[in-house]
A and B are shown apart, each in its own frame.
Chain A
Amino acid sequence: MELRTRHLLDRSFSAVGLLSIAAMALSLLVLILPIAVRGARAFAFRGTAEWRRMQLELFGRGDADAVRAEQRRAAAAKQPVVDAWAAFERELEGRPDAERRRLQAAARSLRPALAELLGPLPGEAEPALPRNRYGQTRWDRALVKWQAVKFRTEWDYSDPAAGGKKVLVPRARDFRGTALEPAFDHLERHLAEILRPRWTFYGRFLTDVAKDAHFFGGIGPEVLGTLYLTLGAMLFAVPIGVLSAIYLVEYAGENMVISGLRTFISTLAGVPSIVFGLFGLAFFLNTLRVSPSKSVLAGSLTLALLILPTVIRASEEALLAVPRTYKEAALALGSGRWATIVKVILPAALPGILTGIVISMGRAAGETAPIIFTAAVSVGLPLTPAQTLTEPTPALPWNIYNLCTEHEAVDEIRHVQYGMVFTLVALVLLLNLAAIGFRARIARNLRG
């Protein structure tokens, strides 16, 4: 081969490596970006007048007088639509039968769409479900719903090769010549005056209880449940993990038993997380019966086993990184072995151990499979610390799964799903950033 070709090959070899690193960074970006952008919209969005009414009525928040005044203004802007509807119903009587039936059918399909956009029209009974009691509370959703009012969807089967083709038909055409026709034009022009969107920051999304299957409210119980599970897992895993690491580093020699212990630790790290879940169910719940049903306690125990290898390894590394001279100096001063460990080695290794603990906290917070059968429920209220011993809890990872696969109206609550994913990812990333920070400080200390 010619030298030039060899150099070309060499350079393209490096390029392939750089490209794959770029691909990795890109996939991280592609993953994080939608979650960050759309997740942030669960917290900051354009809330409508209906949003403020809902907050007042369901959560008792906001200035009642201001909300009422705003409702009056919104109702005034909505009045032409209401009047048009009344006039339309009156004039229906005078129409010939065939046309009346056609118009009635069109009105029957329009009315729920309109109610979803603006809330129940006057004269209707108060709906039982909160989701039907209010119009769209978010402006982005309102624009989507407005499209459903403006157009109806038809399927065109005229071309058998292409199958059904979606066609949007303006509803105004259905009501041409009736009193309802100008209402569409009015809505088109005055939708913002009716719904009065305003930038809203909803920080209490993190602490609010969900109302009506997550249609309204926040993710408070889920966040709290995740915190309970994570802290519970750390409560069991940290003492066991750190003591194990101390034993392995400071006491154990090199023999069969110890290398057996190490093999089992790496085996435990390789057990699939769903198997941990089944084990938690079969052992902690069905055999030990730590609680009568699924509970935070059983979930924490299962998660603790899952993160135990991570904690042990991180602590081991941190203990090994402590310079031998520290220990030798302490022993030379006549300190006992345990005193040396507690007073000299542990403090020196603490930042490293903390790094490992913080990273495994992130792992425990995000794991789903182990808590499905041991701790998680779809719907629940925030628990008190005492209830964690016996009660199951909603938790972020499980409810993300639940809301985007099993919820009755998946598309309506995308913002809640994204908000949950955003919260979970932010929590885990903050923990990891803290760990990276810790590590930088350790590196500086060791150098300085």
Chain B
Amino acid sequence: MPSTEPQSDRRPAAAPSLMMSGRRQRWTRWKERLGRSLLFLVASVSTLAVVFIVYYIAREAFPFFRTGHVGEFFASTRWYPSREPPEFGVLAILVGSGLVTLGAIVVAVPLGLAASICLSDVLPFGLRQVVKPVIEILAAIPSVAYGFFALVVLAPLLQERGGHLLSIAAWMVGAPVVALAAVVLGDLAAGRLRGRRTAARAIVTLALLAAGGAAVWLLARRVGGVAIDSGTNALNVSIVLGIMALPTVVSVSEDALQAVGRELREGSYACGATRAETLLRVVLPAASSGLMAAVILGIMRAIGETMVVWMASGNAAQIPRPWFNALLPVRTLTATIAGDMGEADQVTGSTRYSVLFAMALVLLVISLFMNTASEVAVRRTRRKLRA
């Protein structure tokens, strides 16, 4: 909110006029106007930058669209830019970008939403002040440090005891989910059965616990036996990108949850809802478009990231089979641009050079689109909460 209103605009110019000659007054006004337009020029540097970025990326990408390779760009998975004749199929690379972004979202969104709910509604003020710097530090660590971690620490770990880690993860996620589901379903079943409720609940709960436990155990055994050929793969990158996107998701969605305000929450408590019910049924729906913006910004962070994917994704231009097999190496748009430009730069203007700009253009269009989407989402929240 700018703090000046039209009235206060005129005040400083009008007040001195009591003591000034007409000429000086005019000079003052000119000076003011000049300063104002200079400031406007400076403020429009960001706008110019965006326009120039779009223009120059598109201009350098343009020669590629005049070659005969446009057709294979989106249709072919064969990326052989230095072969004779060259092939510029980007489909596998696009899928790679999409896959690691999806993986990052799978990691970042549940964790980030849960953490932001906890930050805004569960933790006492003092603890919140302790947790906030943790998020800030996670956001501040340079991407190349994350990439280094992924390549030098995480990749060997996954390669040597990946199955072990996967089965631990399966237990850590599966056990609480099964326990909770068993208790809730037991309760619901007991509600249906009317008579002998306690006994019915105990039986149903125990049966579900046993079945769920067996399922988790089987799953953990299954993934425990998986051998990971290369530690630099989509899973590795997804985990690290997810951690990188966490701070964005947490801080944006926390803002959205805070914006919902006390009245709605207190109304819900007054109706006898517990905190979880209040959050799930009242606060989350009210904050939904803000949360959407958080997810979109998280996606943008993951899709535009270069160093982590370049260092730790394995850089193999292939569509994994089946497509969700995250244990295989992939290649992404950003990593391809970063990796190939070094060689293509010597032949500025060649197809190899312009195809990389075409890929950058794709990235740019995606990010502009997502940015607009998140802006719209944020604006909608504001309007909804004001109404």
Q: Using CB atoms and an 8 Å cutoff, list the residues of chain A in contact with chain B.
A: 1-2, 5-10, 12-14, 16-21, 23-25, 27-28, 31, 34-35, 239-240, 243-244, 246-254, 260-261, 263-268, 270-279, 281-283, 286-287, 305, 308-309, 312, 320, 324, 327, 331, 334-338, 340, 359, 362-363, 365-369, 372-373, 397-398, 400-401, 404-405, 414, 417, 421, 424-425, 428-429, 431-432, 436
Contact = CB atoms under 8 A, between A and B. Distances in A.
Contact of B131 (A21, A248, A367): A21
A20 B114 contact: yes
Given A10-B275, A31-B141, A279-B57, A436 B46 contact: no
Given A6-B274, A23-B111, A405-B311, 13 more contacts: A7-B274, A10-B274, A12-B180, A17-B114, A28-B138, A31-B243, A248-B2, A261-B44, A270-B371, A338-B32, A373-B345, A404-B152, A421-B144
User: How large, as a class, is the contact surface on chain B?
Assistant: 35 or more
Contacts of A279: 52-53, 56-57
B218 interface: no
B4 interface: yes
A279 B367 CA distance: 15
B330 interface: no
29 contacts: A1-B188, A17-B122, A24-B246, A24-B250, A28-B137, A31-B141, A240-B42, A243-B39, A243-B43, A244-B46, A250-B4, A266-B371, A270-B368, A273-B304, A277-B338, A278-B360, A282-B57, A282-B357, A283-B56, A312-B46, A359-B140, A400-B144, A401-B311, A405-B151, A417-B148, A425-B142, A425-B145, A428-B141, A429-B141
A405 B308 CA distance: 12
Interface string B116-134: 0111001100000001011
Given A21-B119, A279-B57, A34 B142 contact: no
B151 A261 contact: no
Given A248-B2, A271-B364, A369-B338, A31 B136 contact: no
Given A24-B135, A369-B306, A34 B370 contact: no
Given A31-B149, A279-B53, A1 B135 contact: no
B60 A34 contact: no
> Which of A312, A324, A397 counts the most B-chain CB atoms under 10 A from its CB?
A397
Contact of B143 (A17, A20, A368): A368
Main SS of the interface on chain B? helix
Contacts of A243: 39, 42-43
Main SS of the interface on chain A? helix
B261 interface: no
> Which of B13, B56, B310, B367 counts the most A-chain CB atoms under 10 A from its CB?
B56
B3 A249 contact: yes
A236 to B, nearest CB: 10
Interface in B1-59: 1-6, 8-9, 11-13, 15-16, 28, 32, 35-36, 39-40, 42-47, 49-50, 52-53, 56-57, 59
B136 A331 contact: no
A417 B152 contact: yes
B379 to A, nearest CB: 10
